[in-house]
Amino acid sequence: MATSDFWQKVSTTVLPSPDRSGEGLGYVPRSIQGQTKFWICLDLLTILAAALFAIAHEMHLSPLIALKRLMAGTLFQAHSTGILLAILCGFSIALVVISKRFRLYTPVRLTSFMHEQHLSVRACFTAGLLLTGALYLLHADDIPRRIVLITLGLVTITLSLRRFFYRILLYNRFDRGVDTRNILIVGTGPEAHALRHHIESIRHLGYVFKGFIAISGSPVSMASSTGDVVGALDSLFQHARLRFVDEIFFTAPCERGVVQDVLDQARIHGIDLRVVPHLYDGLAWNAPIEYIGQFPTIPLHCGYVPQFGNFLKRTVDIFFSSLALVLLSPLLLLIAAAIKLDSRGPVLYASERIGKKGRVFHCFKFRTMVRDAEKRRAAIMHMNERDGVLFKITNDPRITRIGRVLRKYSLDELPQFLNVLLGDMSVVGPRPPIASEVREYKLSHLRRLDVKPGIPGLWQVQGRQDPSFDSYVSLDVTYIENWSIWLDFKIIVRTIGVVLAGTGS
């Protein structure tokens, strides 16, 4: 579910937090190299798989035996196996270098589909020519030429198909409002509006316009009357934090020192910064021009996207949640029957929660309260035992009999594995807040919405009985800044202990 009108209302009511220069709200300046390494690793794995398949097919071996003989150097007579390994390494290096030169490792949104496919085939063809030329010069007659041709063909087809299906997957996610990039445009003149209409008209760019930033003395267009101007330049990064902005576009002419100050802050906050070519004034002499659709821009700063980490976490989420739903299906059916017998109302309760970057989604839980629980909430607010924006009552009168058992052992949260499969949540992450809580957040609290929410989080296993909201946010931020698969595994193991001990409520 895409971001609803709720977030537009919340963005005007979130309390400001004091400016803390240098802290960057937990961000660390990085480069885009991590994303490039991820795609390079996939290309190398594709080449290895294609070569093994070609060898196995031509020599009538299983891929595993072919790999063992290739590594042992006994695949061919004399030194031919070593020559094959050498030229495969050379082919891999050549393909990676050529692909980098063709900018095939840049974000998909910056190129069109046909252009990407054309460059992909050209890169494979050029690297293939170098490979066949090396074979000819080395006179490796023991190496069947069909292995080389099959390898080249498979690599070309596989890389093209992989990029094609990844692009289709990405477009579908853009249509659902997932993995899009929020942008602010600095300037309110004709260039700013031209850029806005351009990015909104091209589907594969995956950008979501969040507003204009006005610069004093710059020409003002119709933006002022339409309410699209969200603030001035001195509050740029407050609005960027408030709207979960990923990129800032400079379209208005201003002094070089102003752009330099914004660039320094963008590096601290981990936000991409782009300018139109006539504005950079020597800030990026070696930076290439990148086209956003047909609009030329110069990237002054590109934040790091943990592509491989995100892919690995999503893979673990799908595997773990699917396994949990299958293994726990008898228990889920038993709980559903118990809820129906205990009280009137639906088995599942779908609550609107705020997810990554302020996206609103329906979080599933087993119903543990009476049907009109929300209407009774105002009457028992004085019984709240939590600090700040959190709401918790140990002996909540709205909870049903079976609901108390489910909450004690955290069984009411099992349906959230469905949210994990849908991509709204992760197995581990900060708990998804409700709208009323987010309305009282300070800017620094929004840091916990930079990632997908989870079923258990660090706070649930380490500070669950601590009523302090500052502790709640601190542990969530600690998890975000120190995330690893190993940390997720430890939280899952400790969560199992919490559930078995019955300390979930």
Mean pLDDT of 49-60: 83
Amino acid identity, position 271 = I
Confidence (pLDDT) at 31 = 42
Mean pLDDT of 471-475: 81
Contacts 24+ apart (CB under 8 A), 55-62: 55/147, 57/150, 58/144, 58/146, 58/147, 58/150, 59/144
Confidence (pLDDT) at 64 = 75
- Helix (H) or strand (E) holding 161, with range, is helix 145-175
Confidence (pLDDT) at 17 = 45
| Ordered structural domains, the chain, with CATH | 33-174 (no CATH), 180-303 (3.40.50.720), 308-501 (no CATH)
> Residue 375: pLDDT band by 50, 70, 90 thresholds?
low
Mean pLDDT of 297-315: 78
- Helix (H) or strand (E) holding 311, with range, is helix 307-327
Q: How far apart, in Å, are the Cα atoms of 96 and each of 120, 261, 275, 484?
A: 11, 36, 29, 28
Q: Is the pLDDT of residue 502 over 70?
A: no
Bridge partners (DSSP) of residue 220 are 188
> Residue 496: pLDDT band by 50, 70, 90 thresholds?
confident
Average pLDDT value for the chain: 80
Q: Is the pLDDT of residue 22 over 50?
A: no
CB 70 within 8 A of CB 55: yes
Query: For residue range 188-210, what is the model confidence (pLDDT) as tens digits?
Result: 888 888 899 988 888 778 899 99
d(CA 423, CA 404): 29
Q: How far apart, in Å, are the Cα atoms of 241 and each of 99, 205, 285, 289, 469?
A: 35, 22, 29, 27, 20
Q: Is the pLDDT of residue 9 over 60?
A: no
